[in-house]
Amino acid sequence: MRSQHTLKIFAWCLLFIGMFVLPASYAKDALRVVVSIKPMHSIVAGLMEGVEAPELLIDDQVPYSFKPTKAQLASIQNADILFWVGAELEPGLAEAIGQLSSQVEVIELLSHQGLKVLPSRSQQDLRDPFFWLDNRNLMIIIDDITRLLQATDPLRTHLYERNRRNILTRLSRIDREYEYGYRGMKAGLGLQYFDTLQYFEQAYALKVIDHVAGSPIEAIDTAALLKAREKIAMGEASCLLSEKGFPAKHVSLLLDQSEANHGELNSLGFGMQPGPDLYFEVMDHNTDVIKHCLNADMKEAASARALAKQERATAIDGIGSGQFLLTDHLGRLVSKETMKGKYQIVYFGYTFCPDICPTSLQVLFQAMDILGEKSELFQPYFITIDPTRDNVAVMRNYVQYYDERLIGVTGSSEMIGRVAAQFKAKYEKVEEAGNSDPDMYLMDHTASLYILDPEGRFLTKFAHGIEPEDVASQLLELVSK
C-alpha cells in the first residue's frame, strides 16, 4: 500500500509547492473530494458549503465489508483528495487505495498526529476507528482539513474559513451540552453489543462496563455472550446498546426475561440524509439513545441541550474580559493587569480532581518542555473552581508538587464564579450518593486550555485530549505570527 501522510505534513508540503507551482484549482472550477463514511463526509461537506459537494463513498453499508465498485474506483481515481478513516474500519478500501495513481492525495484520518487515537479493546494491535464520537477530536483535526482545502483551492480560502467557524460553533455547542451530561451519571450502567463508544466514554466519563464483540466482522465468542447475559440477568447492566446497520442477532437472547433496556445507536448515520447536518444528527441521536437506555432524566437532558443552543457557541467574544481580583498560591493579588506581560495559559480545575486535571496539566507541561526556551514566553495559571477546599496553603502545596512554573489561583466563591463566567467555563458540584462526608465530592468542569496574548486578549482554546506535541506546535505558531 502506498504510504499515508498526515494532514499536517501534507498541508505544509502543499504550501511549499505552492510557491513554485500554480495550484491545480486555478486551472479548473471544481475541487473533487471523496470521503469514505457519512460522519466525516458531513464535516467535509460543511467545510465545502458554497464550493463543491464532496462525494460520499460508503452510503448505508457496513464499512468493514465495503468494496468499491468499478464506478467508485473511477471516481476515486479522478479525485483531488480522498479522505478515509483507515484499514481498521474500511479494509476493502485499503486494498483499492493501494492501486491508485499518485495524483490522488489520500488522507488517512487515523494517522493525523493531533488526534487522540485509542487502541482497540478487543485487538490491542489495532486502532479503534470511531474517533469522531469524541467531538473534541474533530475540533482538533478540522483546522488541518481547512488548511489542506485552502492550500489545494486557494481561490476559495475565505469560504473555507467561514465554514470552519460555523462548524466550530456547532461543535462547541455539543461540547458544552455534553460537559455535564454524562459525568457522574447515576441512572445505570450500560453494556455494548459492539464496542463503538470507547472515545465517547473517555471524553464524557460515561460508564459502559463491557461489550460482546469488537466489530461485526469478529466472531461472537460464546463465553463473552454468556458473560454479558449474566450481567444483564443479575441487574448489573441496565441497558444494552447495539448499532444500527450492524447485525446483532443475539439481542433477544441477551434481554430475555430481563428488565434491561435496549438502545440502538447510529454512529455511522444509517438511513440519515448525507450532508453538513448529519454529524450533529448522529451525535444528538446517540446521546438521546444512551440517556433513554440508562433511564436518565430526559427533561434535564432537554434543558441542557436547549441552553447549549442558546449560548454563543464560538464562546470567544468577551473571553477573559472584565475585572477580577484573586489570590495566587503565594498570597499575592492576581488581576487582569498583573497577568499581562506574557502569553497566558489558563486552566480551570481543582486539586482534588482525580484524573482530568492531572492529565491536562501533564499535557501542558510536556508541551512547555518541548518548547524549550520559548516556554518562557508563556505563563500557565491553574484557577480553582473549588475554593472551599482549595485555599492558599492547599494551592501552594499543589503547585510545589506539580510544577514550579505554574501559578495556582484561588479566591472567594463569588469571584471564582465571576472569572469562570468571563471565560465561559462551567463547573458544578457532584456529591456521591451515600457519602456522609461533606468534604468528599467531585467537581464537573470545563477542561479546556485558554490561551490569551500578553495584553490579556483571548486567542484560542485547546480541547481536553489534545496531544502535547500539538499544543507545542500551536503555541509556537501563535508567537511566530
pLDDT exceeds 60 at position 209: yes
Residues 360 and 461 in one domain: yes
- Do 172 and 201 fall into the same domain? no
Q: What is the DSSP letter of 155?
A: G
Residue 460 lies in a domain: yes
Is the pLDDT at 224 greater than 60? The verdict is yes
Give the pLDDT of residue 310.
57
| For residue 374, pLDDT beyond 70 | yes
pLDDT digits (tens, 9 = 90+) for 267-282: 999 999 999 999 999 9
- What is the pLDDT, as a whole number, of residue 303? 65
Gap between the Cα atoms of 180 and 430, Å rounded: 10
> Which tens digits make up the pLDDT trace of 280-294?
999 999 998 998 888
Greater model confidence, 181 or 464: 464
Neighbour-count burial of 429, counting CB atoms closer than 10 A to its CB (0-12 exposed, 13-18 middle, 19+ buried)? exposed
Is the pLDDT at 124 greater than 60, yes or no?
yes
In this structure, are 267 and 374 located in the same domain? no
Position 109 scores a pLDDT of 95
How far, in Å, CA of 382 to CA of 449, rounded? 10
Asked if residue 59 has pLDDT above 90, the reply is: yes
Does 390 map to a domain? yes
In this predicted structure, which of 61-65, 299-303, 330-334 has the lowest mean pLDDT?
299-303
Place of cell 444494552: 240
Close Cβ partners of 199 (under 8 Å, ≥ 6 residues apart):
116, 118, 128, 130, 131, 132, 133, 134, 137
Q: Does pLDDT of 466 surpass 90?
A: no
Q: How confident is the model at residue 92 (pLDDT cuts 50, 70, 90)?
A: very high
pLDDT at residue 181, as a whole number: 58
Give domain status of residue 174, yes or no. Answer: yes
Do 114 and 72 fall within a single domain?
yes
Most confident among 53-62, 106-115, 467-476 (mean pLDDT) = 53-62
- Please tell me which of 33-42, 456-465, 468-477 the model is most confident about, judged by mean pLDDT: 33-42
Using the predicted structure, report yes or no on whether residue 257 has a pLDDT greater than 90.
Answer: no
Q: Supply the DSSP string of 349-405, one letter for each residue.
A: E-TT-SSHHHHHHHHHHHHHHHHGGGGGGEEEEEEES-TTT--HHHHHHHHHHH-TT
Is 315 domain-assigned? no
Same domain, 406 and 430: yes
| CB proximity list for 31: less than 8 A, separation 6 or greater | 25, 48, 51, 52, 80, 81, 149, 152, 153, 156
pLDDT category, 149, cuts 50, 70, 90?
Answer: very high
The pLDDT value given to residue 4: 45
- The more confidently predicted of residues 302 and 354 is 354
Say which CATH number the domain at 465 has: 3.40.30.10
Q: How many angstroms separate the Cα of 312 from the Cα of each of 134, 172, 270, 306?
A: 21, 9, 30, 12
Domain end position, chosen among 178, 213, 247: 178
pLDDT above 70 as % of the chain: 85
Query: Do residues 166 and 209 both lie within one domain?
Result: no
Over residues 10-41, the pLDDT tens digits come to: 444 443 334 333 344 443 457 999 999 999 99
In a domain, 117, yes or no: yes
Comparing 35-39, 253-257, 336-340, 463-467, the range with the smallest average pLDDT is 463-467
pLDDT at 190: 87
Average pLDDT, the chain: 85
Assess whether 356 and 299 both reside in one domain: no
Question: Using CA atoms, how far apart are residues 165 and 142, in angstroms rounded to an integer?
Answer: 10
Torsional class of 205: left (φ above 0), alpha (ψ -120 to 50), beta (otherwise): left
Choosing from 310, 342, 358, the residue where a domain stops is 310
Beta bridge partners of 194: 213
| pLDDT of res. 318 | 55
Tens-digit pLDDT profile for residues 434-444: 667 777 889 98
Q: Answer with the residue of higher pLDDT: 426 or 42.
A: 42
Structural domain of 204: 190-310
Q: Which amino acid is at 231?
A: K
**pLDDT reported for residue 21:** 39
Whether residues 219 and 164 share a domain: the answer is no
Position 316 in a domain = no
Structural domains in the chain (count): 3
Q: Which helix (H) or strand (E) holds 108?
A: strand 105-108
Q: What is the pLDDT of residue 115?
A: 79
- Average pLDDT for 163-179: 80
Domain end, chosen from 310, 345, 371, is at 310
Contact present, 240 and 190 (Cβ < 8 Å):
yes
Q: Determine, yes or no, domain membership for 2.
A: no
Same domain, 256 and 165: no
pLDDT digits 0-9 by tens, 311-348:
543 344 456 667 788 999 999 989 888 999 999 999 99
19/109 same-domain check: yes
Per-residue pLDDT at 292: 87
From residue 79, alpha-carbon distances to 14, 95, 152, 177 in Å are 16, 17, 12, 37
Largest CA distance in the chain: 72
**175-194 pLDDT tens trace:** 767 765 555 455 568 899 99
**Position 106 in a domain:** yes
Q: What is the rounded average pLDDT of the residues 204-230?
A: 87
306: pLDDT confidence band, cut at 50, 70 and 90? Answer: low
Which CATH number covers residue 135?
A: 3.40.50.1980
pLDDT of residue 184: 46
Q: Are the CB atoms for 289 and 241 separated by under 8 Å?
A: yes
Average confidence (pLDDT) over 40-68: 95
Examine the domain organization and report whether 148 and 277 are in the same domain.
no
In tens, the pLDDT along 381-421 reads 999 999 999 999 999 999 988 888 999 999 999 899 989 98
Q: CB burial class (10 A; 0-12, 13-18, 19+) of residue 184? A: middle
Please tell me whether residues 210 and 349 are part of one structural domain: no
